[in-house]
Amino acid sequence: MQQGTRSSRALMWSRDAPMRLLVTGGAGYIGSIVARHLLAGGHEVVVLDNLSRGHRQAVPDGAELIIVDLLDREVVRSAVDGGFDAVLHFAALSLVGESGTHPEIYYETNVGGTLNLLEAMRSAQVRNLVFSSTAAVYGEPEEVPIPETSPPLPTNTYGRSKLAVDWMIGDYCRAHDLGAVSLRYFNVAGASGGLGEDHHPETHLIPNILRVALGANRFVEIFGTDYDTPDGTAIRDYIHIDDLADAHVLALGATEPGRHRIFNLGNGTGFSVREVVRAAGEVTGREIHAREAPRRQGDPPKLVASSELIREELGWKPRKPSLEDMVGDAWAFARAHPNGYGD
């Protein structure tokens, strides 16, 4: 494909027309399910992943897999130079604790890897980007639910590395006519089409609760029971993976040359740890043993992201907002894959 043709495609595609899309991190939990949604929409999908924390089995049928590390600049440039209409960027390291003990690999991977991707896109004249950001960039905000106008004050290296990427994307939009949308959210839950969560180590609450239901773990820990919340446990934002995927599809149609748009995604109210444990017990029909533990340093009582802006501007509306739907779909995946993907 000639470079001029590629540029025209990138700037003139319709959100209703089939597109050729590159999904980085498409072998991971979120990236794989978004890729599945894109394929279901009739798009051609190429997954780029180094498989260091993703799973080959998670790449949906119909997607091409290219095993590439974003830190390999020349190979990334060659992979992106294949005629894409847009990139959806999920590839990142995301463990908060690890980011504190090894900040160097988080800045190298999350920031440096994204820089290589942006340069490859610029070289190939791919000018549409949807970035998987995080509401962790806001730190411990004074206003909850958190609006996009809340000042970013991340409290950990992971959040700071993702904020650095957001800033870098904004600069590329202004300087190089990139059109980009960043989506900021907290906890993604559920499963979809036989794909689900399989992390090592697993740090997310719902899959760890379900490991108790499966008998793999004896109990789940509740960190902090004396917060100023209705039941004393911390309240967090959860969004179903299918609803998150819908938002990414809508974001593809919202990119504009030279503009970086930022949208938060949230359920508006949040769920407490005890509510999640109780819902898991009801959905699974099994007793969930919980052990109370002290608060973890830096854990605020309530973190919920507002989704008013994306609802108003892009028409996004969650189809599965209930905790029972999220836990139920995650439970179906956990029972079908008690050992994860097994790779």
Q: DSSP 3-state assignment of 247? A: helix
Rg (CA), the chain: 20
Please count the CA atoms within 13 angstroms of the CA of 30 that sit on its side-chain side: 28
CB 290 within 8 A of CB 170: no
Q: Listing from the earlier edge strand, what are the strands of the sheet with 260-264? A: 64-67, 44-49, 20-24, 86-89, 128-132, 179-184, 260-264
The whole-angstrom separation of Cα 52 and Cα 76 is 16
The whole-angstrom separation of Cα 34 and Cα 197 is 13
Q: What share of the chain is helix, strand, coil (3-state, %, to 5)?
A: 40, 20, 40
Nearest Cα residue to 40 out of 74, 10, 63: 63
Element (H, E) at 186: none
Q: Does the annotation mark 158 as catalytic? A: yes
Concatenated DSSP letters of 307-333: -HHHHHHH----S--SHHHHHHHHHHH
The whole-angstrom separation of Cα 32 and Cα 129 is 17
**Among all chains, which residue has been given the structure tokens 């139920």?**
328
* Set 29, 138, 158, 238: catalytic member: 158
The whole-angstrom separation of Cα 12 and Cα 324 is 41
* Token couple for 241: 């993976």
- Which residues are tagged catalytic? 158
